[in-house]
């Protein structure tokens, strides 16, 4: 299985790198669209709904992108040459009833699609659409049986079997859409990682990515929470890796967070590659700042995304964002920003001496 996760991906896009070097704005490569904020699960660790976490502080559960606005966005992304769209939350993206036709239209227009979902609705028209048109679908899980699933998500114990059934049925179609799991590790499930991986492999899932739950805005407090289970998690991951073969992979993103989230750089280079459109029809800098005041680039309620993206207003807002001042929190793009800044800082007179 070739590498699917890498900070090097951005270096494949010269137009965006050139725009950064010249102080311009190119179309984003990848957009996360959060079509709806309603959700059918109540995950205890959900960063968008936890009162003690900054993320999602402005999120309104009733928001969803209106049909006409979604149609306009799709047309804009196709005409702009955007390469990929991931439908995610906020809420549960598969609750957006028109999503199958939106997915089809994007792909037929040359835009790749993916989704981050809880998997409860990955069946019927939604499963058919992503099975036929999707590049990947990743399902968030944190349990190993019905009772543990019910405890972590505030739903019925029978829902675990239903979701695993959906995943198994999706895998059996033989779709080229890569079906993976995002497993959120916490104290309750640390001892069950290997057991779950056996179930996932038996269901036909191609990969399981492990990340630690976030319990605080403080890196130190997060690390204190995970310190008690790190040894168990490492042992369980070692056991899970024994299941790996050409069709099943363990992806480990379980690690300690920096205790301070200070940034030395003063621009977010990754803004040129990835942005977010929320269910409130507002454009945000990234998933780590979605539904926050500091992450808001501007509203597209009364204008098109394309018009907004290339506007002087957006250029000024992107330029004004200073990570050393505005992003003193966890940042999923931090390592990518460091890499891009190093690349752009190369002396062209010496770059040929590889």
**SS3 at position 96:** coil
Contact 239, 194 (CB under 8 A): yes
Q: Is the peptide bond before 90 cis (omega within 30 degrees of 0)?
A: yes
> Considering the entire predicted model, what is its pTM?
0.93
Q: What's the pLDDT at 6?
A: 87
Contact 212, 238 (CB under 8 A): no
Rounded CA gap, 157 and 152, in Å? 10
User: Which residues lie closer than 8 Å to 139 by C-beta, 6 or more apart?
Assistant: 117, 118, 119, 122, 163, 167, 179, 180, 181, 182
Rounded CA gap, 89 and 103, in Å? 16
Tell me which residues of the chain have a pLDDT lower than 70.
1, 49-57, 256-257, 259-260
Contact 78, 106 (CB under 8 A): yes
Contact 141, 211 (CB under 8 A): no
Give the residue carrying structure tokens 């959900």: 46
Question: In CATH, which of 3.20.20.70, 3.20.20.80, 3.40.190.80, 3.40.50.2300 is domain 28-344?
Answer: 3.20.20.70
**Cα–chain-centroid distance for residue 49?**
16
- Of 5, 21, 9, nearest to 341 (Cα)? 21
């Amino acid at each position: 299985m070739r590498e699917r996760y890498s900070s090097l991906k951005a270096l494949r896009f010269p137009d965006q790198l050139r725009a950064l070097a010249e102080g311009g704005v190119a179309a984003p490569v990848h957009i996360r669209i959060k079509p709806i904020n309603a959700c059918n699960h109540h995950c205890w660790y959900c960063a968008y709904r936890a009162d003690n976490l900054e993320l999602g502080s402005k999120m309104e559960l009733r928001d969803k992108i209106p049909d006409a606005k979604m149609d306009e966005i799709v047309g804009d992304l196709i005409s702009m040459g955007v390469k990929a769209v991931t439908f995610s939350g906020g809420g549960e993206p598969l609750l957006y009833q028109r999503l199958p036709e939106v997915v089809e239209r994007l792909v037929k227009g040359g835009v790749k699609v993916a989704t981050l979902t809880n998997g409860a609705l990955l069946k019927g028209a939604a499963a058919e659409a992503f099975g036929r048109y999707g590049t990947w679908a990743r399902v968030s899980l944190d349990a190993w049986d019905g009772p543990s699933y019910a405890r972590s998500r505030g739903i019925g114990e029978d829902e675990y079997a239903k979701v695993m059934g959906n995943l198994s049925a999706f895998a059996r179609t033989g779709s080229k859409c890569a079906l993976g799991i995002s497993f959120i590790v916490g104290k309750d499930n640390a001892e069950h990682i290997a057991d779950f991986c056996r179930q996932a492999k038996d269901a036909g899932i191609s990969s399981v990515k492990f990340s630690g739950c976030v319990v605080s805005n403080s890196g130190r407090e997060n690390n204190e929470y995970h310190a008690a289970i790190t040894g168990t998690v490492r042992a369980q991951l070692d056991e899970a890796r024994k299941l790996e073969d050409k069709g099943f992979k363990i992806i480990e993103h379980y690690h300690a967070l920096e205790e301070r989230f200070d940034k030395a750089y003063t621009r977010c280079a990754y803004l040129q590659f990835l942005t977010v459109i929320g269910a409130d029809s507002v454009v945000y800098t990234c998933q780590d700042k979605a539904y926050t005041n500091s992450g808001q680039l501007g509203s597209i309620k009364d204008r098109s995304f394309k018009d907004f993206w290339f506007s002087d207003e957006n250029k000024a807002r992107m330029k004004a964002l200073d990570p050393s001042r505005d992003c003193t929190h966890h940042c999923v793009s931090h390592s990518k920003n460091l890499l891009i800044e190093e690349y752009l800082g190369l002396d062209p007179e010496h770059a040929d001496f590889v």
